[in-house]
Amino acid sequence: MTKTRWMTTWLAFLVAGGAGCRQSAESPKIVQVGSTKADLFGMPKEFRALHPRLEELFGSRIMFRDQPNGEMLALQLAQGNISFAFMSAKEFCSAQDSSSLTPLAVGLNAMGKSSRMAYIVVKAKSHVKTIADCAAKRFAFGTYHDLLTDVAAQAALAEAGVALKDLLPELLLPPPIAMEGRLYRGHDVAKTIVADLTVNAGVVDEMDYARMPDTGGNFILGPSKDQLEIVGRTIRVPEMVVVAGPAVTPLDKRRFKAFLLNDVAKDKVICEQLGVTGFAEPDPAEYGPVRQLMAKSE
């Protein structure tokens, strides 16, 4: 091959390579969004209505990627493998280092709040008047390993001097009603306390309590607030938070944040699927107590 021919071939290669690079750079980008939600049949149901709106917002294909836990979500965000993530407070606070992550918005629950607590309740007119009185009694927790109705409830008991070993253990009930010798009643804690004479106290999610009528509770319709007394409260736990990774441009962060804060509340289908009534500005101060709670429970 002559020198001239060699140079021509080399220049053609460079031009082709440069064109290929330009084509790759100009090809539509894919915005990857992470969560711990998975669906065997494709798109997780929580994001089906949101998906086309995000593609319109970013002018790009949107791909939802599931991860096993919050720590892996945070790692994928930090490494730039995913751009955004929908995370629970527990998932967000499980990240070993969240300094490079930017919370964009936090979900609003049915009460219009961006966080919620749980109440330690007892039967009305009971001899149990304080959390300390729960010692040596049957106590109904909410959902096993739930940050609010299990972990935070245990912390509230401990702060009042009631260790788990001080509660009356559950010896005969099988899982999932009893785990590790504790009674778990999910969203039926209030009903259990009112109906079961042997269960003296328990923890009720603020959302469940808000849905109860003030009076008129019975076995058929369910309990009412006047049948219970609140003797304590857990810490507040933020609702779902939407987080951006460090690789996201400031423009895309502002664009997504504005959409979450201003537009989502207007779309009832998106809200229903996400389990929110809208989004609000996140309060970084609310995550400190959650991290402390999780560190103590490990």
pLDDT at residue number 28: 57
Domains 29-112+238-297 and 118-234 belong to one CATH topology = yes
Name the pTM for this structure.
Answer: 0.86
Residue 144 neighbours by CB under 8 Å, 6+ apart: 150, 176, 179, 184
Q: 66, 217 in Cβ contact below 8 A?
A: no
pLDDT, tens only, 69-127: 999 999 999 999 999 999 999 999 999 889 999 999 999 999 999 999 999 999 999 99
Answer CATH for 118-234 from 3.30.365.10, 1.10.10.10, 3.40.190.10, 3.60.110.10: 3.40.190.10
118-129: burial string, b at 16+ Cβ within 10 Å, e else: bbbbbbeebebe
pLDDT, tens only, 189-243: 999 999 999 999 999 999 999 999 999 999 888 999 999 999 999 999 999 999 9
Answer CATH for 29-112+238-297 from 3.40.50.150, 3.40.50.10860, 3.40.190.10, 3.20.10.10: 3.40.190.10
Residue 114 neighbours by CB under 8 Å, 6+ apart: 106, 107, 108, 238, 239, 280, 282, 283
According to DSSP, the β-strands at 115-116 and 182-184 are unpaired
**Domain limits, the chain:** 29-112+238-297, 118-234
pLDDT at residue number 298: 77
Residue 274 neighbours by CB under 8 Å, 6+ apart: 46, 47, 50, 86, 107, 240, 264
